[in-house]
Structure 1
Amino acid sequence: MALRNYVQRRNHKERGQLAHRKHLGLLEKHKDYVQRARDHHAKRDKLQRLRQKAADKNQDEFYLGMVGKKTEKGVHLESRGNKALDNDVVSLLKTQDAGYVRKQIISEKKKLQALAEKIAPRVPGMRLEYLKKKPQYITALRRADLLGAVDEEADASDDAEQQRLQGFGKKTLWVDNVEESTSKKSKKASAPSELTPAEKVGERQLGVKIRELASRQHRLDALTEAANKLDVVRTLMRTRGSHAVPKKVVRQMKDDVAKKGAQITPKGLVVPTEADDDDGAVRTKKQYKWSNERKK
């Protein structure tokens, strides 16, 4: 083996990026430039070929495979061959969807009630100042019937008891004598208004629960709206024209008209009118005919 392999050689060092050019990243070496140049040339050549193809395209070109196909904004669209379902089948599918939505509504109401029962014992004692900073909490608690009217005029300089929500009923204080009761009241009045670490954690946890309550209320509203829209769509799909009116509504309408002395007939509305003579014994009937229904 050659002796030169045992001799320490000088390490080759590449020049690094200058200090005032460090914001540009690492210094590019020749191999990096070659890789970047090849990528640039490949993209340039591909774009040039595509431009040439677009220029040489025959506008009148047609194949039978183009039937039923189209392009939108340069995207090729092709039919999958699926056939449109009948109205009865679609109505049945929407009935299943409505059943699923109703099931989710029932489940959401149960979860909402359970969450409200967890929050209810912790609402008395909440700080009014904390609630005023979170108006969405007040809305959610009022909707769940967990909060009444909040005094907006309460001053922050009041004592700690006046800044908190009061529970229902009166609080019983067990003492041995009158002096002890007055001393406890004075201690309570002189208590500092700063929150302890445990109270801060409890307040934060209660805020998380109230936010969950508000989100579940919003989800329940969305599900209810979806169920109503599904019912309307199913009704319109099953019926057409005047048949879309429920029979109960039509019956009620006829009863209301009959009470006023009129009558609904297949040809129109018949309204009795008094005669022009002074006797008034003879009555004539005036008939309002329906306009022809638009045929669909």
Structure 2
Amino acid sequence: MSDDNKADLLRLASEYADKNIDLFDLLSIDALTAKEDIQRAWRKASVKYHPDKARDNFDAEKWELLERARDILADDGARATYERAMKAKLLRKQEREAFDRERRKYADDLEAAELAARVAQQEKTQRDREALEKERARLAEAQRMREEETRRQADADQEMKDLLEAKRRLKEKKEEKNRRRQAKESMKAAGRPSGPVNGVVLVPGSYMVDVGAGQKPYWQLVCDKLRAVQNARNVAKMEDAPVDEVQDAEREVQEARRLIAEAENKYRQETAV
């Protein structure tokens, strides 16, 4: 074997040891396997990775790693270098583990001391808390009695206010009922909701009318008026209808009649031309 090849094997042996790659495990052997058995072990381990066997699943990296494991372990110098590096790494690992055990023991002792101190402090805190709770309970009971007396007085004052408020609402209800009665009587006296006279011009139902920002056909305006008139009648029949609702219903009827009247005037002007 050339010096270059030996140098490469020594370099690779160190690299694999640093990467913690177990070359013995790759070839399914142990550190006591003789040099003469390395080739046979490699042949047995690599048969399933051989290009002819694996075909499309051939793993070139795995194949190369097996060959390098064979070459390193079959070479005395490279094998010695690999074993020394692995032993040194194992020794460092054992030293770290020993150091970690010492450090954990120190941490455990420190934690135990801190725990004992915390327990003692917690017991003292518990005693202080119990004494404080007793004093708070005494003060709370005294405060409760004062608040109960204040609440009784407030309840008496509120009862008087509620009585006055009930009288005021009863008076307002009577006044509201009188206003509704007057509004209904006014609507009955008028016969039907007031507004512009409609139906004086025969307008086609499909005639489009400008309403606000849009348009509506004439027949829809007529439907709107009928709904408004029916709503006004329904409101007038209600016993407890608010005055504002009665007035709003009247305004809706007037607005519907106004829109129809404007549409009829516009249609009459257009057809006259």
Higher helix share: 2
TM category, shorter:
under 0.3
The structure having more radius of gyration, on CA atoms, is 2
Scaled by the length of structure 2, what TM-score is found? 0.24
